[in-house]
Amino acid sequence: MKATNETALALDRTDKAILRLLQRDASISNVALAAKVNLSPPACLRRVERLKETGVIRSTVALLDGERLDAGMVVLIGVVLDRSTPESFAQFEAAVQKVSGCMEVHVVTGEFDYFVLLRTRDNQSFNRLHAEQLLYLPGVRQIRSFMGLRQVLSTTQLSF
């Protein structure tokens, strides 16, 4: 059963310590994790499995370095749709997930309907991506692109 906002999982100090450690290094062994939080390995494993089953831990992934993989340019794109209907939102959302280098898509308030975060190699590759994919997204009235100049902070760690 996944926890929802209405049924948020109550986390004790040990659960929070486990989550902080796993956010820093999810490859830590269960034995090492258990020692750091003063639990037996079986008790620690049960807690981690419960955190996974309830959806607090969504997945365990490897974080890749975009610079080293020829995807060093970060582009934040503001998108305005021509209509605000459930169908136009659904069509856009299905299509944008297929855009090369697309990493995040957020419905937002204000001037734009969506913010899209993507990674690409450089200006030329972004221009190609814009001409070949972004211009053909369904229902788009306006796209405004913002190129990242320098990364100040990027984290996957939640504080609690």
- Residue 88 contacts residue 139 (beta carbons within 8 Å): yes
Same domain, 100 and 143: yes
Stretch 136-146: mean pLDDT:
96
Rg value, the chain, Cα: 20
Query: Is the pLDDT confidence value at 4 over 70?
Result: no
Q: What's residue 129's pLDDT? A: 97
Query: Residue 37 sits in which domain range?
Result: 13-53
Q: What's residue 7's pLDDT? A: 54
pLDDT band at residue 99, thresholds of 50, 70 and 90? Answer: very high
Q: Please give the torsion angle defined by the CA atoms of residues 133, 135, 138 and 144, in that order, rounded to the nearest 10 degrees.
A: 110
Q: Please give the torsion angle defined by the CA atoms of residues 69, 71, 72 and 75, in that order, rounded to the nearest 10 degrees.
A: -160
Tens of pLDDT, residue by residue over 56-69, are: 999 999 999 999 99
Same domain, 108 and 135: yes
Calculate the CA 72 to chain-centre distance.
17
Which CATH number belongs to the domain containing residue 135 in this structure?
3.30.70.920
pLDDT band at residue 160, thresholds of 50, 70 and 90? Answer: confident
Q: What's residue 25's pLDDT? A: 96
Same domain, 72 and 34: no
Stretch 120-146: mean pLDDT:
96
3-class secondary-structure state, position 122: coil
In a domain, 125, yes or no: yes
CA distance 57 to 49: 9
Query: Is the pLDDT confidence value at 9 over 80?
Result: no
Domains of the chain: total: 2
Of 59, 53, 46, nearest to 3 by C-alpha is: 53
pLDDT-above-70 percentage for the chain: 95
The phi-psi region of residue 107 (left if phi > 0; otherwise alpha if psi is between -120 and 50; otherwise beta) is: beta
- Residue 145 contacts residue 103 (beta carbons within 8 Å): no
Query: Is the pLDDT confidence value at 6 over 60?
Result: no
